[in-house]
């Protein structure tokens, strides 16, 4: 199953609801394009909802890191929401869990962005 992205806005924050797999050649390009589109439209506060991500490989992890640095370098913020246990464990193993700002509640995540 390839990755799908749905975009919505809440209180000035762009939420990308991702579902499927973030892997080499499947989701990794999709996520890159989605973040690029959001930045091109002038928004740089992005919340990636990973609640429906069933699988992620090292390419997918790399793509999350690249998205994080791209948004940060543009002066914005990128946060992660609703990690599954698999994704949570991978971020722990790769020591990226503390790099990302990870939230498990959408309302809390929205209010945590710099106004």
Partner 1 sequence: MADSTTMRASYTLDSSLDSVNKIEQIGEQFATKAGFDEDTVPHIAMAVREAAVNAVLHGNSYDTNKHVVASFETTSDSLIIRISDQGPGLDPDKIPDPLAPENILRGSGRGIFLIKAFMDEVNFRQLHPGTELTLIKHRTPAQSGT
* Near partner 1 in 14-33, by CB under 8 A: 23-26
Question: By CB under 8 A, which span of 6-14, 45-53, 54-62, 102-110 interacts with partner 1?
Answer: 54-62
Contact characters 57-76, partner 1, x per CB under 8 A: xxx-xxx-xx-xx-------
3-state SS track over the chain = CCCEEEEEEECCEEEEEEEEEECCCCHHHHHHHHHHHHHHCCCCEEEEEEEEEEEECHHHHHHHHHHHHHHHHCCCEEEEECCCHHHHHHHHHCCCCCCCEEECCHHHHHHHCCC
CB of 9 to partner 1, least distance (A): 27
Binding site for partner 1 (CB under 8 A): 23-26, 57-59, 61-63, 65-66, 68-69, 86, 90, 93-96, 99
């Amino acid at each position: 199953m390839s990755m799908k992205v749905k975009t919505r806005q809440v209180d000035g924050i762009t939420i990308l609801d991702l579902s499927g797999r973030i892997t080499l050649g499947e989701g990794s390009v999709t996520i890159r394009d989605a973040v690029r589109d959001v930045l091109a439209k002038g928004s740089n506060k992005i919340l990636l909802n990973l609640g429906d991500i069933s699988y992620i490989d090292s390419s997918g992890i790399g793509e999350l890191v690249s998205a994080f640095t791209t948004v940060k370098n543009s002066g914005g913020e990128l946060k992660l929401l609703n990690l599954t246990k698999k994704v949570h464990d991978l971020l722990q193993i790769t020591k990226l869990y503390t790099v990302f700002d990870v939230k498990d509640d959408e309302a809390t995540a929205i209010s945590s962005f710099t106004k």
